[in-house]
């Protein structure tokens, strides 16, 4: 009898974590490596948020919190949804978790039975299908393309829905593509969902505040109020507030679902760290001016990377609406050879050879379900991004 669970045979390790770890190991071995795999801002957490955490420690806010989150944070979350998304949620309709991953995991654990399907547009964040698999569900992938801006169309959604569909999992702006949906694009998807009342929507809005130019962020329950009662709207403080290590995600939705997620969390981790929760209260209620400053820096980085990648031979890189990723196509490079005679047969080989030849660590697109592409995180300095893109240009030019 095998000791480890059969579930593990259905789950793959995270490619993004693997690339980051490999880059770290090569650096420790003395290699000159530029790691563009990590999905976290390089900014520090703002001082007012740090001070709120320190003050919470001094006040003795160090006891077990309620499983669903401290009341001031749940109130702040409800106010945030009203202020920024025109969504009316009561505090009891909200839940706080140890990062966005726990929110997603608990939602699937609370709702999926064997054979239940989750529609996931691809490319997708690497953890989505693995979470569905762990929770006993089945992922149904709805393809997008570079021509559609990596966005799910109404026709593709309609085709993916079956009587076993329980969730549509949305992510806008997207990891890995940076694609963000307009209000009109969300309305077209909502019109399909209204014809299928058994399908719920889980919308991952983690990159909400990282949108560029004159793009206006919308979330699906805001665009179509008739979906409000079957939508779980997820967000967190990680990206906009540079609080990845504080591990706070949150969501709002119908009370029965929130209670079910609370029950699972109560047997799993209980409440999230009290100090991080008090810091998050300040993040949501406090000054927001730094968000615009950071966004402007990210936009300049995006423009630099898109421009330089489009100057690299054989690479085509669209300019995304949000997040801090680009997802260029490397289709024109397939079949070419490195100086050592290695054939570039897929995007994983390309990324491996790029790392070996030039010390640039990126994540191959097939890990996100759609290739031949690769993902670059531009959450690092312009100087490093410029050097990395110069190396990529040199590498692609060397292929024959």
What's residue 257's pLDDT? 98
Statement: residue 313 has pLDDT above 90: yes
Residue 98 has pLDDT above 80, yes or no: yes
Whether the per-residue pLDDT at 9 is higher than 90: the answer is no
Residue 157, token pair as written in the block: 């959604």
Spatial strand order of the sheet with 138-143 comes to: 94-97, 249-252, 231-236, 200-204, 165-171, 117-122, 138-143
Say whether pLDDT at 95 is over 90: yes
Distance in Å from the first CA to the final CA of the chain: 51
72, two tokens: 């001031």
Q: Between β-strands 231-236 and 200-204, what pairing exists: parallel, antiparallel or unpaired? A: parallel
Between the alpha carbon of residue 190 and those of residues 65, 159, 346, the distances in Å are 37, 14, 36
Asked if residue 92 lies in contact with residue 255, where contact means CB atoms within 8 angstroms, the answer is yes
d(CA 382, CA 5): 45
Whole-angstrom distance, CA of residue 71 vs CA of residue 399? 58
Q: Which helix (H) or strand (E) holds 331?
A: none
The burial of 21, by beta-carbon neighbours within 10 Å (0-12 exposed, 13-18 middle, 19 or more buried), is given as: middle
Provide the pairing of β-strand 249-252 with 231-236: antiparallel
Residues 6+ apart with CB under 8 A from 169: 118, 119, 120, 121, 124, 128, 202, 204
Kindly tell me if the per-residue pLDDT of 190 is higher than 90.
yes
Give the percent of the chain with pLDDT over 70. 100
Residue of 327, 372, 366 lying closest to 150 (CA atoms): 327
Q: What is the largest CA-CA distance in the chain?
A: 65
| H helices present in 161-239, as ranges | 183-194, 220-223
What's residue 1's pLDDT?
84
User: What's the Rg (C-alpha) of the chain?
Assistant: 21
Confidence at residue 10, expressed as pLDDT on a 0 to 100 scale: 82
- Which pLDDT score is estimated for 24? 82
Beta-bridged to residue 201, according to DSSP, are 168, 231
329-337's contacts with Cβ under 8 Å and 24+ in sequence apart are: 329/146, 329/372, 329/373, 330/365, 330/372, 330/373, 330/374, 331/372, 333/372, 333/396, 333/399, 334/372, 336/399, 336/400, 337/399, 337/400
- Over residues 213-242, the mean pLDDT reads 97
pTM: 0.95
**What domains sit in the chain, N to C, each tagged with a CATH number?**
6-44+290-398 (3.90.1150.10), 59-285 (3.40.640.10)
Among 29-43, 122-136, 359-373, 376-390, the range scoring the smallest mean pLDDT is 29-43
What pLDDT does 307 receive? 98
pLDDT value, residue 136: 95
Closest CA to 168 of 139, 126, 191, 136: 139
pLDDT at 308: 98
pLDDT exceeds 90 at position 76: yes
Backbone phi, psi, residue 299, to 5°: -65, -40
Residue 19 has pLDDT above 80, yes or no: no
Q: Tokens 């726990």, residue?
A: 102
Average pLDDT in the 354-367 region? 94
Contacts of 8 (CB under 8 A, 6+ apart): none
CA atoms of 150 and 160, how far apart (whole Å): 16
Over the stretch 20-64, which tens digit does the pLDDT of each residue have?
A: 788 888 888 888 999 998 888 999 999 999 999 999 999 999 999
Give mean pLDDT, residues 214-231.
Answer: 98
Tell me the residue length of the chain.
400
Q: Are 307 and 158 in contact (CB under 8 A)?
A: no
> What is each CA distance from 62 to 55, 70, 97, 278, 284, in whole angstroms?
11, 12, 17, 11, 21
């Amino acid at each position: 009898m095998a000791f480890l669970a059969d579930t593990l045979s259905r789950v793959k390790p995270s490619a993004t974590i693997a690339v980051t770890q490999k880059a770290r190991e090569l650096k420790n071995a003395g290699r000159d490596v530029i790691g563009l795999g990590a999905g976290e801002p390089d900014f520090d957490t703002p001082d007012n948020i740090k001070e709120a955490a320190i003050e919470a420690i001094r006040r003795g806010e160090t006891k077990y919190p309620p499983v669903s989150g401290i009341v001031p944070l749940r109130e702040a979350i409800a106010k945030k949804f009203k202020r920024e998304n025109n969504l009316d949620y009561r505090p009891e309709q909200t839940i706080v978790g140890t990062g966005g991953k726990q929110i997603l995991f608990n939602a699937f654990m609370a709702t999926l039975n064997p054979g239940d399907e989750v529609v996931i547009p691809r490319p997708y964040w690497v953890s989505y299908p693995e979470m569905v698999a762990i929770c006993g569900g089945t992922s149904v992938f709805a393809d997008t393309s570079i021509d559609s801006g990596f966005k799910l169309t109404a026709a593709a959604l309609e085709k993916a829905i079956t009587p076993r569909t329980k969730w549509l999992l949305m992510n806008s702006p997207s990891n890995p593509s940076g694609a963000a949906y307009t209000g009109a694009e969300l309305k077209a998807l909502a019109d399909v969902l209204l014809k299928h009342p058994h399908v719920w929507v889980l919308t991952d809005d983690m990159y909400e505040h990282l949108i560029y130019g004159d793009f206006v962020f919308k979330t699906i329950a805001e665009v179509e109020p008739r979906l409000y009662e079957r939508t779980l709207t997820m967000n967190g403080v990680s990206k906009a507030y540079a609080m990845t290590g504080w591990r706070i995600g949150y969501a709002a939705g119908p009370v029965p679902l929130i209670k079910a997620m609370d029950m699972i969390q109560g047997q799993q981790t209980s409440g999230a760290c009290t100090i991080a929760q008090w810091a998050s209260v300040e993040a949501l209620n406090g000054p927001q001016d730094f968000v615009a400053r950071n966004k402007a820096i990210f936009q300049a980085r995006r423009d630099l990377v898109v421009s330089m990648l489009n100057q690299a031979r054989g690479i085509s890189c669209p300019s995304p609406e949000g997040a801090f990723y680009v997802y260029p196509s490397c289709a024109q490079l397939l079949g070419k050879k490195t100086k050592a005679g290695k054939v570039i047969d897929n995007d994983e080989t390309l990324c491996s050879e790029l790392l070996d030849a030039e010390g640039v660590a990126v994540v191959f697109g097939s890990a996100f379900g759609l290739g031949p592409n690769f993902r670059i995180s531009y959450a690092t300095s312009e100087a490093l991004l410029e050097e990395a893109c110069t190396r990529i240009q040199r590498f692609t030019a060397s292929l024959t």
